[in-house]
Structure 1
Amino acid sequence: MRYAITYENNMVFQHFGKTPQFLMVDLEDGKLTQELVSTDGKGHGALAGFLKEHHVDTLICGGIGQGARDALAAANISLISGAKGSIEDVLSALTAGTLKDDPSGMCNHHHEGEGHSCSHEEKEHSCTSHSCTH
């Protein structure tokens, strides 16, 4: 099984569409192998295809919008959203079988420009628990 985790500075990056890197994780017979892959500036709509090209079965991320969810579903890529914290903690939960999709990872609308975040705060607004605050 191949997983892709949104990644920045050994933490789960909280905005799928703007992630600078993915940690590709292969889990076979309880054994993990890892590879860090740059998105090369690809974002939002291009990322489902990027993940498909890298043979990803499941995406693990923080916040993600409905359009990206739909694109992943069309590419037959499963989703575990709402993940946060260190990559080490996420990998431990993954290998223990306790990592689950969290609906708080849903971002209900598409944003243009800067200042958007899902499941974490920035200056302008953030999306959490199925709502958006400005």
Structure 2
Amino acid sequence: MKIAVPYENGQVFQHFGHSALFKIYDTENGKILSSEIVSSNGQGHGALVGFLVQNGVNVVLCGGIGAGAQNALAQAGIQLFGGISGAADSVVADYLAGNLVFDPNAHCDHHSHEEGHTCGSHSCHEDKGGCTGNCH
């Protein structure tokens, strides 16, 4: 099974649609066999699911993610676990051990945030292109 995590500086990057890098883990029988950091080559929201399919990904662990990307992942048969933060390697280890804490309703709709609006544990920064954390 291949697990992908939007990645930045060792952490789960918090905005799926703006992910420049993914760390992709090759796993088997609950163990990580290998991992690599892969550039999305600047592909945005819509193209990221195709990128993940091309890389054989079965599961995505991420922070904030929009409804369109959620639907595209579901249509591609890729399982999604959202609302996650922390060190990417630890998150994958927790997932494999069956201990992952995630939000099944995590989503990000940074296009409609009002000034001063907060999404869960973070503030939305319109001046920086949207959400920087777990949007609910």
The TM-score by the shorter chain falls in which range? 0.7 to 0.9
* Structure 2 counterpart of 1:72: 73
Letter of the structure 1 residue corresponding to residue 62 of structure 2 = C
Q: Which runs of 5+ in 2 are unaligned?
A: 113-117
2:25 partner SS: strand
| Other-structure match for 1:27 | 27
Q: Distance in 2 between matches of 1:100 and 1:51?
A: 23
1:14–1:120 Cα contact (<8 Å) kept: no
Aligned length: 125
Unaligned runs of 5+ in 1: none
**Per-residue deviation, 1:94:** 1.8
Q: Runs of at least 4 residues of structure 1 off by over 6 A?
A: none
Conserved? CA contact 2:16–2:65, under 8 Å: yes
Instruction: Provide the rounded CA distance (Å) in 1 between the counterparts of 2:125 and 2:76.
Output: 33
Work out the percentage of aligned pairs sharing the same amino acid: 46
Query: Structure 1's 103 and 120: CA in aligned 2 closer, same or farther, altered over 3 A?
Result: farther
Q: Distance in 2 between matches of 1:129 and 1:21?
A: 20
User: What is the match of residue 6 of structure 1?
Assistant: 6
Corresponding residue SS for 2:57? coil
Map 1:1-134; keep pairs closer than 5 Å: 1-32=1-32, 33-103=34-104, 105-107=106-108, 109=109, 111=111, 120-124=122-126, 126=131, 130=136
Q: Provide the aligned C-alpha RMSD in A.
A: 2.4
Q: TM (normalized to structure 1)?
A: 0.81
Could you tell me how far 1:100 is from its partner in structure 2? 4.4
Deviation at 1:128, TM superposition (A): 5.1
